[in-house]
Structure 1
């Protein structure tokens, strides 16, 4: 029995359009199944959709958005790369105040902060990567 390469990962370029959001959701579900991650796929789908929607909305131009899904020993990490170097709002700043739940904007990053085990962003050569990690759950 051979060991799979570690960490298992998927890297997919998505079009710079809102159509990328449902595609990203499906890809995350498929990838987590493929790499046998024990992370919660529903949560991963939801948070990935938020990150991709933010990247499409807040990045000018038509540069593709890249989705990276990695298997971690303790769960999974999902990154969304875009060409805008500006950091994503209040992703890592809980003191920014709670968004109004009736407002359309501002809830996505709160969701990511609340539902992920950790999240953040980093600069890349072509812009930035925004990421979150999810813990694995024990399957019965």
Structure 2
């Protein structure tokens, strides 16, 4: 059963500037959504979080930690990844000039974030930038009642 949290909850966690941060970030988001029985789509939240963290690790220099911020609200969740590079991410908020090459391993992360999130963006921070996405609460499926009822046998 997915119940909306009655009050906002948030987490801020420093992650290592390495590929090891990706599975840790996925696990943190999965745990946050499950523990509060939050109604946002956990699979999508994990996937998009992994993309943001992987991009931060791959496209920022140095070994300064990356910060993961998860905010759970009654209307949905917001996930932010903070990194030390002030440069905005490529084509996050505008379509790419060309489609990703289907034979290449890279080039689909920002496309996934744009396509699967309710909204996404980036903003400058005092130490670099924050890249974020939002997911809405998914309504519980109502049990459907059949429109017809069988007649009693006579």
**TM-score of the superposed pair, with normalisation by structure 1:** 0.91
Do the aligned partners of 1:8 and 1:35 also contact (CA within 8 Å) in 2? Answer: no
CA RMSD of aligned residues (A): 1.5
Asked if 1:113 corresponds to 2:127, the answer is: no
Q: Which residue of 1 aligns with 2:22?
A: 21
Measure, in 2, the Cα distance between the counterparts of 1:82 and 1:94: 23
CA distance in 2, matches of 1:92, 1:73: 25
Q: Deviations over 1:58-88 (max 9, x none)?
A: 1100100000000123210000000000011
Q: Distance in 2 between matches of 1:33 and 1:20?
A: 20
Normalised by the length of structure 2, the TM-score is 0.83
Task: Work out the CA distance in 2 between the residues paired with 1:110 and 1:116.
Answer: 10
Quote the offset at 1:33 in angstroms: 1.9
Any idea what the Cα deviations from partners look like across 1:63-121, whole Å, max 9, x if unmatched?
A: 00000000123210000000000011101111533222222221000000000010000
Counterpart contact for 2:6–2:74, Cα < 8 Å: no
Which structure has the bigger radius of gyration? 2
Contact in 2 for aligned 1:123/1:129 (Cα 8 Å): yes
Secondary structure of the structure 2 residue equivalent to 1:96:
coil
Q: Distance in 1 between matches of 2:49 and 2:79?
A: 7
- Distance of 1:30 and 1:79 partners within structure 2: 16
Q: Structure 1: which 5+ runs fail to align?
A: none
Counterpart-to-counterpart distance in 1, 2:133 and 2:46: 12
Secondary structure of the 1:137 match is coil
1:41 has 2:46 as partner: no
**Cα displacement string for residues 19-40 of structure 1 (whole angstroms, at most 9, x for unaligned residues):** 0001110000001123432100
